[in-house]
């Protein structure tokens, strides 16, 4: 992995990216990080890189020419002239661990553009930038700190940078969970003891404790993340144990609701059992069967009928559709229904699944792990699903 950083302050990167793990990885040749002073590419005697904005307003705007010349220089260093160019901006997509994994896996070269002042001439962004990223909903004085953070997050995923892949796969956000708490010697510090299970020597017991603590941390600190999790049968067993062990009534209630199954999926093909006569219901199901369609109705405790989950399995590529009513959106119900259907469809080891809901549920596609193929379809393979479904 090679990262070229275009900045007005290259010395800012010396310590953060030149020391510790990232510094050692550069010395070992696993990664290369180069900083380029944008002022070196100006075409005026003053090395001026900014000017007043057209239309008026506060501050100055970084000019397109120095940035573009610096970018062309960085692109030329790669031989084949290819790289992914990222500009750090409060307008950008919020950077996540999923983005770090994507950038580390999909690209060998990255170019980071660090803005300053009131922003960057839009014409440069249109000409050179592939995507804009942000660290969050706040504003910094420049793009240098985001560039450091993203470089660190991406580079530590490159083979050889860390001693073992488990060093990052066991951390917060890798599989949608926050990390469990850590303890070190001594056993007792200031009257506080290490949890007994961690000194027991029982590897399975320790693994179960850590997973339960990860569930608890995610539920308490990031309930939005907890709502999107996919639980295996082993996970549900651990959640039941956690519910029985906790002294927190609110946590126990939340886990109890989840563990008993707040969402049900029924193979009925219509929302109300009383809506059709038995003969009509039988005919309805027969019609669906002839079309190769399996239709489930989705219900949630306290929300009633929530929508349908349809799938067709005709040949090696099955199609999945999920349609929710407006009141049922944003509660993780689509994830539960999709998991139910995927478990059934992947009983056939040869099948692949294409999600064809209209409009496409982007959050669901991301949570489940559908990948876009060369035809623009979002496909999920059985091995990828089982790997995620059975992590416990």
Please indicate, yes or no, if residue 296 is contained in any of the structural domains: yes
What is the model's pLDDT at position 233? 64
Asked whether residue 314 falls in the same domain as residue 330, the answer is yes
Are residues 130 and 9 part of one domain? yes
Determine how β-strand 109-114 pairs with β-strand 131-134: unpaired
182 within domain boundaries: no
φ and ψ at 115, to 5 degrees? -80, 170
- Looking up tokens 């240098």, which residue turns up? 144
Cβ atoms of 354 and 377 closer than 8 Å: yes
CA trace torsion 203, 204, 210, 213 (10° rounding): -140
**Which CATH number fits the domain that encloses residue 84?**
3.40.1280.10
User: Which residues span the domain enclosing 293?
Assistant: 263-389
| Tokens 């970018």 sit on residue | 71
Instruction: List the Cα angle 87/29/106 in 5-degree steps.
Output: 45
Contacts of 281 (CB under 8 A, 6+ apart): 268, 269, 270, 273
Tokens representing 177 are: 């969970």
Same domain, residue pair 76 and 138: yes
Q: Which of 260, 280, 305 is where one domain is finished?
A: 260
- For residues 121 and 64, membership in a common domain is answered with yes
Residue 179 lies in a domain: no
CA 318/CA 68 separation, integer angstroms: 46
- pLDDT at res. 353: 87
Residues 142 and 11 placed together within one structural domain of the fold? yes
3-state secondary structure of 218: helix
How many domains does the chain fold into? 3
Q: Any idea what the CATH number is for the domain that residue 376 is in?
A: 3.40.630.30
Report the C-alpha gap between 335 and 341 in whole angstroms: 10
Cβ(80)–Cβ(107) under 8 Å?
no
Task: Give the pLDDT score at 241.
Answer: 87
| Whether 242 and 274 share a structural domain | no
384: CB partners within 8 A, 6+ apart: 369, 371
User: pLDDT value at position 272?
Assistant: 43
Structure confidence at residue 198 (pLDDT): 95
End of a domain among 244, 260, 276? 260
By CB neighbour count within 10 A (0-12 exposed, 13-18 middle, 19+ buried), where does 139 fall? Answer: exposed
Number of H helices, E strands in the chain: 15, 16
Phi/psi at 40 (5° precision): -65, -10
237 and 299 assigned to the same domain: no
pTM exceeds cut of 0.75: no
Q: Do 247 and 273 share a structural domain?
A: no
Q: Which residues pair with 133 in a beta bridge?
A: 93
Do residue 227 and residue 351 come from a single domain?
A: no
Torsion sign across C-alpha atoms 242, 245, 246, 250: positive
Please, how many CA atoms are within 13 Å of residue 6, restricted to the half-sphere of its CB? 31
**Residues 152 and 14 reside in one and the same domain:** yes
Q: Is residue 201 part of a domain?
A: yes
**pLDDT value, residue 70:** 97
Residues 365 and 304 in one domain: yes
pLDDT at residue number 118: 87
Can you name the residues that pair with 215 across neighbouring β-strands?
A: none
- Domain annotation covers residue 92: yes
> Is residue 175, in this structure, part of any structural domain at all?
no
My answer on whether 16 and 142 are in the same domain is yes
Of the three residues 233, 260, 287, the one that is the final residue of a domain is 260
Q: Is residue 183 part of a domain?
A: no
Return per-residue pLDDT of the chain as tens, 392 residues: 999 999 999 999 999 999 999 999 999 999 999 999 999 999 998 999 999 999 988 889 999 999 999 999 999 998 777 899 999 999 999 999 889 999 999 999 999 999 998 899 999 999 999 999 999 999 999 999 999 999 999 999 999 999 876 555 556 566 778 889 999 999 999 999 999 999 999 999 999 999 999 989 988 888 877 876 766 667 778 888 888 888 776 676 666 555 434 456 655 444 443 444 556 555 555 555 555 566 667 766 556 677 777 777 767 888 888 877 776 676 667 777 787 778 777 877 778 888 887 777 777 787 788 888 888 888 988 888 877 766 53
The answer to whether residue 229 sits within a structural domain is yes
pLDDT at 292: 58
CA dihedral 49, 148, 161, 30 (to 10 degrees): 0
DSSP for 48-86, please give it.
Answer: --EEPPTT--SS-EE-HHHHHHHHHHHHHTTSS---EEE
Give me the helices (H) in the chain, please.
Answer: 14-18, 20-27, 64-76, 97-106, 122-128, 144-155, 166-169, 203-221, 223-226, 233-245, 249-260, 278-290, 333-345, 362-368, 382-389
Check which CATH number belongs to the domain holding 225 and give it: 1.10.1270.20
pLDDT value at residue 285: 52
């Amino acid at each position: 992995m090679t990262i070229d950083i275009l900045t007005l302050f290259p010395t800012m990167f010396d310590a953060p990216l030149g020391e510790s793990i990232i510094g050692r990885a550069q010395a070992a040749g696993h990664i290369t990080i180069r900083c380029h002073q944008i002022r070196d590419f100006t075409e005026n005697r003053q090395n001026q890189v900014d000017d007043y904005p057209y239309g008026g307003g506060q501050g100055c705007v970084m000019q397109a020419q120095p940035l573009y010349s610096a970018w062309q220089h960085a692109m030329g260093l790669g031989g084949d002239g290819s790289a992914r160019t990222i500009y750090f901006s409060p307008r950008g997509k919020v950077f996540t661990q999923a983005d770090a994994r994507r950038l580390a896996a999909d690209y060998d070269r990255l170019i980071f553009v660090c803005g300053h002042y009131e922003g960057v001439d839009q014409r440069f962004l249109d000409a050179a930038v592939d995507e804009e990223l942000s660290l969050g909903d706040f504003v910094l004085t420049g793009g240098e700190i985001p560039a450091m953070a993203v470089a660190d997050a991406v580079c530590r995923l490159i083979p050889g940078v860390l001693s073992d892949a488990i060093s990052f796969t066991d951390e917060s956000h890798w599989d949608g969970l926050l990390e469990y708490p850590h303890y070190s010697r001594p056993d007792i510090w200031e009257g506080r003891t290490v949890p007994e299970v961690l000194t027991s020597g029982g590897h399975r017991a320790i693994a179960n404790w850590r997973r339960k603590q990860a569930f608890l941390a995610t539920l308490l600190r990031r309930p939005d993340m907890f709502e999107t999790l996919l639980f295996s049968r082993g996970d549900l067993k651990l959640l039941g144990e956690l519910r029985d062990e906790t002294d927190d009534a609110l946590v126990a209630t939340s886990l109890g609701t989840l563990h008993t199954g707040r969402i049900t999926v029924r193979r009925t093909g219509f929302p109300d059992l009383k809506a059709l006569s038995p003969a009509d219901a039988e005919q309805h199901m027969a019609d669906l069967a002839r079309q190769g369609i399996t239709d489930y109705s989705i219900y949630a405790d306290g929300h009633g009928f929530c929508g349908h989950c349809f799938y067709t399995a005709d040949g090696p590529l099955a199609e999945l559709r999920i349609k929710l009513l407006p009141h049922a959106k944003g509660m993780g119900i689509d994830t539960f229904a999709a998991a139910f259907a995927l478990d059934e469809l992947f009983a056939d080891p040869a099948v692949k699944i294409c999600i064809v809901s209209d409009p496409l549920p982007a959050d669901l596609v991301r949570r489940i792990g559908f990948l876009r193929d060369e035809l623009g379809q979002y496909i999920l393979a059985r091995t990828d699903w089982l790997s995620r479904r059975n992590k416990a």
